[in-house]
A and B are shown apart, each in its own frame.
Chain A
Amino acid sequence: MTIGSADESLKRRLKEMIIRECEKDNFAPAEVPDDVVLFSDECALGLDSLDALQIAVALQNQFSVRIPDSKSFRRHVTTINALADFIQPE
């Protein structure tokens, strides 16, 4: 397996999941950048803390990734690239 940030299909699945779970239907996966911090003003998606929780549960349910608390979530889920690397380290 390749490292997550180099795995385009994994990153596409992650973007689709985020759009679906956060009900940001007016965005296409291609419009979600790989290297912009998701929970910041620079990210056009405009996600809030409830979106973060929604994503955390989806990661657990759909990608079998356990993220124990909000602090470690913020540490791992910064950008799409970082998230992909966290899910698939190699």
Chain B
Amino acid sequence: MIYIHATGIHNTIPTSGQPDLRAELKAMGADNRRSDHFMRLAVIGAHKAADGHELPAETAVYMTSGQGNTAVFNRICSALRIEKNLPKPVDFINLLSNSTGFYIASHLGLAGRNIFLTHHHFPVQMTLLTAQNDITQGLQQTILAGGVDEWQTRPQLARKLMGIEETTVLGEGSNWLLLSPERENALAVLEVEKRCINEEELTLRLRAESKHHDITIAFAPKITKSQAARFMNQYPSFKRHNYEAACAYYETLAFYALNSFIAAHKKGRLLHIDCGTNGYMLMTVEIIP
């Protein structure tokens, strides 16, 4: 069990191209030099979570992404293959995923652990599980954990790579949580299930949850509409966190689902349900009133 002290939400539905974030980043006092859109997104989201908090220098940054910085990959690829040029040094460095973490740490003055990790189905849950374990083990005292996904400049290709329907609207986001083992002044308690569970275990869990008051459920995009409707019918006391209304698809949406719930509620408990090939993955957030 770990505590959420702040949320940072940056969530948009671009209509034509990636929005220019330079002015916003500059207003935060950060340097745009050598950064690209993906990095700016990351710094803006992390800044929002850190804003108003005095972060200790040893604060760790645990970052994840579904598709990563695809724009810089495309740039290098075309330099190499089409123009037959050497990659630009700054592009090559930015291609290493953890360079983004470097710019977050530079902007916020951090010198703690700085990692970039991914997971095929559950990038958000696995990042938070890692953070939860490191805090519980006493290995970290403060962690900024976040997910960053940029709007894909080749949406048709991106939908195929992400395995989603051709009509799905794509969005972008950078959503962060400030985590610590301290209860004092915390907004909410976070608990990430340590492993995937099967259908039967999920039913047992939902039955147990339905005994609580004020339960809200958030469904990840991979839970089908009919499946979600079935759950809601089975447990009429559950409310639904309809975060989908305010965002479009990206692979780290689970962070947005949690963050938007915390930002909009003064009390209550959120159960976030996602699924992959091995079963269901659960996270709960309980607001501290």
Contact = CB atoms under 8 A, between A and B. Distances in A.
A49 B50 CA distance: 31
A70 to B, nearest CB: 12
B33 interface: yes
Nearest to B84: A61
A23 B34 contact: yes
Interface string B74-88: 000001000101111
Contacts of A50: 34, 89-90, 93
A54 B86 contact: no
Contact of A61 (B32, B34, B83, B90): B83
Interface range on chain B (Cβ under 8 Å from partner): 10 to 19
Q: Which of B79, B83, B90 has the most chain A CB atoms closer than 10 A to its own CB? A: B90
A57 B88 contact: yes
Chief secondary structure at chain B's binding surface: loop
Contact of A54 (B32, B83, B85, B90): B90
B19 to A, nearest CB: 19
A12 B173 CA distance: 40
A53 interface: yes
Contacts, number: 25
A66 B70 CA distance: 29
Contact of A23 (B33, B86, B93): B33
Going nearest first, the 10 A-B pairs with the smallest beta carbon separation are A53-B89, A61-B85, A23-B33, A57-B86, A54-B89, A57-B88, A54-B90, A57-B89, A54-B88, A50-B89
B99 to A, nearest CB: 12
Nearest to B87: A57
A16 interface: no
A60 interface: yes
Interface of A: 21, 23-24, 50, 53-54, 57-58, 60-61
A62 B62 CA distance: 38
Nearest to A61: B85
Contacts of B88: 21, 54, 57-58
Contacts of B83: 61
Interface in B1-58: 32-34
B86 A61 contact: yes
Nearest to B33: A23
Contacts of A23: 32-34
Contacts of A58: 88
Contacts of A54: 88-90
Interface in B82-134: 83, 85-90, 93
25 contacts: A21-B88, A23-B32, A23-B33, A23-B34, A24-B33, A50-B34, A50-B89, A50-B90, A50-B93, A53-B89, A54-B88, A54-B89, A54-B90, A57-B85, A57-B86, A57-B87, A57-B88, A57-B89, A58-B88, A60-B85, A60-B86, A61-B79, A61-B83, A61-B85, A61-B86
